[in-house]
Structures are given as structure tokens and as C-alpha cells.
Amino acid sequence: METDTSGRDSQTGRTVEKGAEIETTVTETDSASDDSGPGEFNYLAGWRLHVITLGLNLGLFLVNFEITIVSTALVSITNDLHEFKRSSWVITAYLITYVAGIVIWAKLSDLFGRKQTCIAALLIFAAFSGGCGAAQSVVQLAVCRAFQGIGGSGIYAVAMVMLYELVRPHRYPLYTATVTVVVALAFALGPLLGGLITDRASWRWVFLINVPFAALAAAVLFLATPSDFPLNNRLRSTAPKQQQGRHPGSSNLARLRAVDFSGGFLMLAATALLITGLEEAASHLDWRGATVLGPLIASAALWAAFLANSWRVSTREGGEKSGRGQSVVEPVFPWRFCTSRVVVGLLLTSFMTGAVSITCIFQLPLRYQTSAGLSALQAGLRLIPFSVCGPLGTVFCAVLSKKRRVPPIYLAIAGELMQIIGLVFLARGDPADPDWRGLYGLEVVVGIGFGLCLGAVSLMVPFVVEKRDLAVGAAAPVQLRFLGSATVISIVTAVGNTWLRDELSGTLTPEQIQAIFRSSDAIRALPTEELERMVRGRFVESFNLQMHIVLGFAVAGVFTVLLMWQRNQVRVP
């Protein structure tokens, strides 16, 4: 990397390489919370900063776009593959590995470098997006979606921490606002483009579209990112040994031994068993079977084991010592998160936000298509109010929080209350009016509330976790948000399908019910219009029941936000 001559500020210790792409700060303040003590930080500037920011935001857009683009294509996908009753597997297979992989990827990026791990994640995501596009059954699609989720979790985890490391803390609000807007826009455009692609082409392009753009993002990062970002070799060679990385001079094998694979396995297994049990209840419409209760009980045991493992790894001999020294094995989820009321509140609020927002993103298009008989594109168009207001909420949050105006926690409380108000009325749809226009206004209220909560949590992360935990701290709220969505989508699907089966059994034959759960197109094939209207009205009532469940999580979100309450509230500079 070529640079011009540099000057030095004697008061701050800042070295500026004029005309180059690097700004280096050597201060006590910047590393006060880092366990290695004072160090040197390589902040990028110029074209490198802009190009890397673009590449990272493209990756973040793709992985979140992939979550929501499926929402309007889901009915067409499962109808084509003749497995409508297993529709939620197409969503949750991705979310399971997405949730379980985020913290692990963050830890791997600490050990092997941000650039290498982010590019690897992009390539995995691209490869299995192609596999999803070629799937011939729901089972094949679910398997490819699971591997696609592994890549997606890596992109999100590493990109988020890289964006925090690109710039100084006083620019966090700008970058946080940019990221949250990108994520919210991905959520907004996904359902619309999913419907457009499904109606105009094949649903397979919903997945294939990721391949060229993920490859482009990987190429951009490969060309623009210094290989050992955030410290370059020149700085690393002059820094004390303990500042040159957590594992200076260690081999790849030694670095792998420092990864808490047992914690990662327990997290993945616990999440997978939880979702599997709920999905089995949704598929078989029975909560009492061994295939439902067995996985749920095993999941509870594994979550307990996961927490015990985090405590053991964090506190055992040779591990963490009140911030001094390094763990032989670094936990994927530091136990100190569990001892901080503010961090626990932030993580639980993320869970509740995902339980409300992403569940609505998936369930609203299903309601429009099953209850009102609309096409995928029409359902996507009707989701626009929710999709647009999510980004608006994050922008409002960033603007109101900037320059210490309003503490983010106040905006999070406002967001939770707006979600509650919207859901109260979402759960009261009239079965006689499946295409009720009042849903649009309620989407606005819930969408803005979601955006406020998402923005507040994202803004607070770098101010409530220690610097050494920034990678995991940036990843954990995302992980909890998608764990909330995966869990609640499975719950509402299971409860809604079970209720629907029981209600329809008194009017339709078992063969007709089975046909509807294979493909929602079977509703149009019912013998009379009156029978069709009755069935569509039952789908409205099923949706209302599902929204009552989601409302419960929104109410719980108020209390989780209050866990973050402090005498001196966090303010964003």
C-alpha cells in the first residue's frame, strides 16, 4: 500500500498519512477497554473506506433480503413442491443455522482475520443459493437453505464488526443508521421482488439472484480490504507482542483450539431441536407425539448445557481473569453477558423484536394469499406499508438519538408500545372481509415501532459491551432477533394449522383438508363459492389467533426494554 509523508499530532498521538487510505490512532482512550492495553488502530479513509463499506453493505443487504424475499414466494414454492403444510421449513431451515452460526463466525474472525472469514462466508452463501435454485423437493431445499444460512450468518457477523472497526466511535451513529436502513430496505424490497419474480418468472430465481451479487461482494472485499485489517503489517511490526493479536505467532491448529466448538455445537443442536419440535407440531397437527415432545425436552436440556458450558469456559482456571489474561478456549457466548442486566435486557429485546417483526413479514403475505386469494405480487404490494415504515423507524431513531438528543431506550419503549397498539387491531380482522384495507394503517404503526426498536438496539451495542466483546456483542443481538423469529414463526404456524384443521374438519372431508395443506390452490377447487368463502374466513381467524400470540411477545418486550434502564441513560454522541 503506497503512502505519502505523514505528520503527527503531539497532543493526540494521531498519525495521518496524507493522500493515503489509512488513518492511525495511537491513544490510551481508544483501547481503554481492550484487554491488551493501549494499542494502535488502523482506520481506513478515502476510496478504500467507501468501497469496503459498499461491499459490506451489499453483503448485509443480500442475507437480509434472502430472509424476506421468500415470504411472498413461499406459497408458490410449496405448492409447486406439493408440501404447503411444511412451508415454514423453507424459512426456519435458513434461520436455524443463521442463528447458531453468528457468534461462531464472529469468534473465527477474531482468530483468522475479518477479510478471510467474510469472503469465505460470501462464497458459501453464493454456492448454496445456487443449490436452493436447483432443489427438486422441500427436503433438498431445506438442506440447501440450512447451508445457505451458515454463509449468511458469517456475512452478517463479520460485516457488522468490520463496519464498527472502519471508523472512529464518533461516527458510529452514521454507520449504525446506514446499516439499519440497509437491513430494513432489504426487508422492505424482499417481499415485493419475491412476488414480482414469482409472478413473472420462476420462484427458483428468488435464490439464483444471490449468486452473482454475492460473488461481486466477495471480489470487492478481496481487492479493497488489507489482508490483516484492522491492523496493517507496518503497525503490527512495531507494536508490542501482546498487541499483535490475541494469539500472536500461533499456528492455525492452535487458533482452532481456542474456538469454543462445544458451545457452538450445543447452540446449534439446541436451536435445531427446538425448531424441529415446533415444526413437527405444525406438520402433523399434534402436540402430544414423541416427535414433538422429544425434541422440545432435549432442546431445553441442551440450552441448559450451553449456559453451563459458557460459564465453565469463561471462569475456569486459565480463562478470563476479570478482563486480564486470555482464555485458552474463548467462549462463543461470554458469561459476563449474563451478569450484566443491561446486556441481558438488550439481548431479550432483540428476541422480542424479531418475534414480532419478522413473524409479521412472513405471516401477512400468507394471509393475503390464503384468505384473499391474491397473487404473490399483489401480496408483496400490500406489504409495502410495513416494509417502508421499518426503514423510516430506524432513520427516526438515528436522527433523534444523534448528538445526545434522546436516549435510545426511550425510543425503544415508544417502539414497543406502537407494536402493541398495532397488533391489538391486527388480531381483530373480520372473516367476512379477508382483504380488509385497515391492515395498511396497522402495518404502518407496527413497522415504525419495529424500526425504532431495531435502531435503538443497534445504536446501544457499542456503548454497553466491552471493546474485547465488540464482535460477539454486535452479533449476539442479531442472533437473538432471528432466534425469536424462528421460534415464534414455528409456534404460530403450529398453533394456526392445528386450529385450522380442527375448524375445517366439521365442514370438509379429510381428503379436501389434506389437499389444502398440500397446496393452498385447492381452496379454489372447492365445489361451491360459499364453501370457498367459509374456508378463507377460517384462514382469517387463524391469522387472528397467530397475532394474539405475537402480541404476547410484544407486551413482554416492554419489560425487557426496562431491564436496560439506568440512572444515567446511554446517549449517542
Phi then psi for residue 41, to 5 deg, are -120, 135
Res 63: pLDDT: 87
| Cα(140)–Cα(163) distance, integer angstroms | 35
In contact, 452 and 393? CB cutoff 8 Å: yes
What does each of the 573 residues of the chain score in pLDDT, given as a tens digit? 333 333 444 334 444 444 344 444 433 333 333 333 334 456 667 788 888 889 999 998 998 888 778 877 877 887 787 766 666 678 778 877 887 777 778 778 877 788 889 999 999 999 999 999 988 888 888 889 989 989 998 998 888 888 878 877 677 767 777 777 787 778 778 888 888 888 888 889 989 999 999 999 999 999 888 877 766 433 343 444 434 444 444 455 666 666 777 887 888 888 888 877 877 776 666 677 787 888 889 999 999 998 898 888 877 644 444 444 444 566 777 788 888 888 899 999 999 998 898 888 888 888 888 888 888 788 888 888 888 888 788 888 888 887 777 888 899 999 999 999 999 999 988 888 888 888 888 999 999 998 899 888 888 887 777 777 776 777 778 778 878 887 888 888 888 888 888 888 878 888 888 888 777 778 888 888 888 889 898 999 999 999 999 999 999 999 999 998 888 887 776
3-state secondary structure of 482: helix
Amino acid at 397: C
Hey, what's the cell of 372? Answer: 384473499
Q: Which residues contact 117 (CB under 8 A, 6 or more apart)?
A: 105, 108, 109, 154, 158
| Cα(410)–Cα(351) distance, integer angstroms | 18
Domain count across the chain: 1
| Cα(156)–Cα(261) distance, integer angstroms | 20
Res 5: pLDDT: 37
Q: What is the pLDDT of residues 292-322, one digit of tens each?
A: 888 889 999 999 998 898 888 877 644 444 4
| Cα(350)–Cα(557) distance, integer angstroms | 9
Among residues 403, 437, 378, 334, the alpha carbon closest in space to that of 173 is found at: 403
Res 301: pLDDT: 94
* Furthest-apart CA atoms within the chain: distance in Å: 85
Where residue 519 falls (left for φ over 0; alpha for ψ -120 to 50; beta otherwise) is beta
In a domain, 347, yes or no: yes
Res 284: pLDDT: 65
Helical residues (DSSP H) of 465-528, grouped into ranges:
470-504, 510-518
3-state secondary structure of 21: coil
In a domain, 280, yes or no: yes
Hey, what's the cell of 422? Answer: 398495532
In a domain, 454, yes or no: yes
Res 136: pLDDT: 85
| CA atoms within a 13 Å half-sphere pointing along the CA-CB vector of 483 | 25
| Cα(101)–Cα(479) distance, integer angstroms | 8
Amino acid at 450: F
Among residues 114, 527, 196, 197, the alpha carbon closest in space to that of 381 is found at: 196
Please, what's the b/e burial string for 173-204 (b: 16 or more CB within 10 A of its CB; e: otherwise)?
bebbbbbbbbbbbbbbbbbbbbbbbbbeeebb
Q: What is the DSSP string of 371-418?
A: HS---HHHHHHHTHHHHHHHHHHHHHHHHHHGGGSS-HHHHHHHHHHH
In a domain, 3, yes or no: no
Q: What is the pLDDT of residues 176-190, one digit of tens each?
A: 777 777 877 787 788
In a domain, 363, yes or no: yes
**Residue 324 per-residue DSSP state:** B
Q: What is the pLDDT of residues 152-164, one digit of tens each?
A: 989 988 888 888 7
In contact, 436 and 126? CB cutoff 8 Å: no
In a domain, 541, yes or no: yes
Please, what's the b/e burial string for 372-396 (b: 16 or more CB within 10 A of its CB; e: otherwise)?
bbbbbbbbbbbbbbbbbbbbbbbbb
| Cα(175)–Cα(169) distance, integer angstroms | 10
Instruction: State the distance between the two ends of the chain, measured CA to CA, in whole angstroms.
Output: 33
Q: Quick one: CA dihedral 446, 449, 454, 455, positive or negative?
A: positive
Q: Any idea what the CATH number is for the domain that residue 499 is in?
A: 1.20.1250.20
In a domain, 128, yes or no: yes
| Cα(148)–Cα(155) distance, integer angstroms | 11
Res 86: pLDDT: 66
Hey, what's the cell of 541? Answer: 381467524
Phi then psi for residue 245, to 5 deg, are 130, 160
Phi then psi for residue 300, to 5 deg, are -60, -45
Res 425: pLDDT: 92
The CB density around residue 245, as the number of other CB atoms within 10 Å, is 18
Helical residues (DSSP H) of 85-171, grouped into ranges:
87-112, 114-134, 138-166
Q: What is the pLDDT of residues 400-451, one digit of tens each?
A: 887 777 888 899 999 999 999 999 999 988 888 888 888 888 999 999 998 8
The residue to which cell 414423541 is assigned: 290
* Containing structural domain, residue 521: 42-245+254-317+329-562
3-state secondary structure of 41: strand
Amino acid at 118: C
